[in-house]
Structure 1
Amino acid sequence: MKRMGLMLAVAAVLIPVACKAIKKHRETTRKPVVVLDMEALAERSLPGRAAAQYIKTVQTILHRGIDDVRTMYRGRENTPEGARAIAQAQSFYQQQMALYQKKLDNEIGDIVSAAVRSWLKKNRGVAAVVPADDTLGYNKHADVTRQIMVEVDWYKPSFPPMPRVRINKTPA
């Protein structure tokens, strides 16, 4: 009987201590936050490389429009009409490049978001994925760029149709 009383007394002391230790362990064991190098993803992933090639082609096509206007006004570039036509062609080029770049950024952003969501479903122990540029620093073990790139490479980007440059063939 004395043994039973001693065991109950020890249990009464140890159980609350053990519960506190378990609670403290749970509080200190948080889900990790990992980082993603967006620049590396854009440069090395299949959709990122496809987007870079696409924007180069768009740039070439749109720049041809400026070249065509300059050719039309060759020798008359400094006239008011020539300067206005060239300025309009350059403005059109800049507007279109900004528009295409924004569409591309949105498409790649959607792909990365879907890939990160897919990766997080498989890695439930991770609390969040943060862009590496938004951190003050991180341990190399927190970098999951390669793992997420595997997910990103499953996606095929959908780009808008290539531009068609239409210019006024008659000098104004």
Structure 2
Amino acid sequence: MKRMGLMLTLAAVLLPLACKVAKKHRLSRKPVVVLDMDVVAERSLPGRAAAQYIRTVKNILHRSVEETRLAWQGREQTPEGIRAISQAQSNYQQQLALYQKKLDNEIGDIVSAAVRSWLSRNKHVAAVVPADETLGYNKTADITRQIMAEVDWYKPSFPPLPRTRANRAVL
């Protein structure tokens, strides 16, 4: 019995202390926040500029394919015509993929710099995680608007636009 009384007394003293330590530990942990990368890419100024730029690139590259088709009009079913048009279409796909990768890298670098800048001012946050890589999150953890405001300060630098056959002839 004495032993049981001692255990209860000890528990009564240690339990509030343990709760206090647990609460302090829980409050001292830094939160993790989330960022919706799709929203940043679609709605930020650099993201919209990149979307417009890639549309322009697609138009220029498509024009180059059409110029090749016109150059082989009437002879497009010959082996040389088929090869030339196939080469133009393949070039279109390769160039478009290359430009898209460069744009993705540029926007990724801008978002990374904005996140680093934001984290330097918000030292209480442990990490920023892409929203689509979570199983779910509370809306209070979403910092997309704050990062978008940061991203909008950056000016993207895009590679020179591709040249069509007509542009090359003029140059």
TM over 0.5: yes
Task: Work out the CA distance in 2 between the residues paired with 1:166 and 1:31.
Answer: 56
Aligned alpha-carbon RMSD (Å): 1.9
Per-residue CA distance 1:39-65 (angstroms, 9 max, x = gap):
110110000000000000011111111
1:143-154 equivalences in 2 (<5 Å): 143-154=142-153
Per-residue CA distance 1:46-95 (angstroms, 9 max, x = gap):
00000000000011111111000000111211111111000000011111
Q: Which amino acid aligns with 1:113?
A: S
Which position in structure 1 is the counterpart of 2:30? 31
Q: Which amino acid aligns with 2:99?
A: Y
Which position in structure 2 is the counterpart of 1:63? 62
Task: Work out the CA distance in 2 between the residues paired with 1:129 and 1:38.
Answer: 11
SS in 2 for 1:39: helix
1:153-168 equivalences in 2 (<5 Å): 153-166=152-165
Which position in structure 2 is the counterpart of 1:95? 94
The answer on 1:118 being equivalent to 2:123 is no
Size of the aligned set, in residue pairs, is: 155
Per-residue CA distance 1:104-158 (angstroms, 9 max, x = gap):
0000000000000011111111111111110111111111100110000000001
Tell me the TM-score normalized by structure 2.
0.84
Per-residue CA distance 1:12-63 (angstroms, 9 max, x = gap):
x97x777644432232222111111111101100000000000000111111
Q: Which amino acid aligns with 1:44?
A: R
SS in 1 for 2:46: helix
Task: Work out the CA distance in 1 between the residues paired with 2:126 and 2:138.
Answer: 16
Listed as ranges, the gaps of 5+ residues in structure 1 are: 1-12, 168-172
What's the % identity of the aligned pairs?
A: 69
SS in 2 for 1:108: helix
Which position in structure 1 is the counterpart of 2:40? 41
Q: 1:150 to 1:22 in 2, by over 3 A?
A: same
- Deviation of 1:166 after TM superposition, in Å, equals 3.8
